Structure 1
Amino acid sequence: MTADTLPPRPPIVVLCGSTRFWDALAEAALYETTAGRIVLAPTCDLKTPHPLWADPARADRLKHVLDDLHLRKIDLADDVLIVNVNVRLSSPSPRSPRAVPPILRSAPTVLRHPQG
């Protein structure tokens, strides 16, 4: 198969949500992949112990790197899927920590949520 004979690129979807819902993120990735989409998602759960982030200073640096990488994934995506468990998304306010982040509101992608 050559580049000329490849089928069109499938849509790229980025999964966004808290790693507290790691199982829900994995389930969403499974469904999105089997629907024929390229899935970009968090791959490091800093809440689960691991030697790569056992040192608190290293974990803090890594958190910033991962946050920046996630923003770049959003830049690449055609679609953003918000994965939440029993959390209502709302407009941003200082008292609304679970508001849709500004990067998602301005993303040139389709923003969707599994519950509609």
Structure 2
Amino acid sequence: MPYPRLLTPEEKLADAKELLSLPRIVVICGSTRFMAEMAEADLRETEAGRIVVKPGCDMKSPHPLWSDPVEAQALKARLDTLHRAKIRLADEVLVVGDYIGDSTRAEIAYARSLGRPVRFTHPQVDPDA
């Protein structure tokens, strides 16, 4: 008699989100130079009934948390790891802005490797288009 197949953590998460009747979760990606556009996208996605997660730190703006260059570099690495977790949590990705840098390009590739749909506010910047 065959044993039932064990669910992957991703499948368990998807099942839990369905059982909880959670709305779609959208993660916003893009350069932090587009923080104002991200806030607008957050507003529109929320109004459409989606849960939104997005970058919480704009390291391009001065702040005591990243004023020390060594600490800033370590924080950037932690934030990159945190953002990848947000991508794993999300059902889809929304890329904001008319510019795609290396970090955003890597996030898009990561999301697509997980099978997450990726939307763009500026579809012309899609690196795979």
TM-score range, shorter chain: 0.7 to 0.9
* Residue 15 of structure 2: aligned partner: none
2:116 is aligned to: 109
CA deviations 1:59-112 (Å, max 9, x no partner) are 111000000000000000001001113x3x6xxxxxx85883221331321111
Structure 1 stretches of at least 4 aligned residues deviating more than 4 Å after TM superposition: 96-99
Which residue number corresponds to residue 65 of structure 2? 52
The residue type equivalent to 1:57 in the other structure is: V
Cα root mean square deviation, aligned: 2.2
Name the counterpart of 1:64: 77
Give the number of aligned pairs.
Answer: 103
1:114, distance to aligned residue in structure 2 (A):
2.4
1:36 aligned partner = 49
Instruction: Name the structure 1 match of 2:93.
Output: 80
SS of residue in 2 equivalent to 1:42: coil
Q: TM-score scaled to structure 2, two decimals?
A: 0.71
Task: Provide the residue aligned with 2:39 in structure 1.
Answer: 26
2:21 counterpart letter in structure 1: P
What amino acid does structure 2 have at the position aligned with 1:21?
F
Amino acid across the alignment from 1:47: K
Question: Which sections of structure 1, spanning at least 5 residues, go unmatched?
Answer: 1-5, 90-95
2: CA distance, partners of 1:99 / 1:50: 22
Give me the TM-score of the superposition, normalised by structure 1.
0.79
More helix by share: 2
In 2, Cα distance between equivalents of 1:60 and 1:35: 36
Contact 2:28 2:96 in 1 (8 A): yes
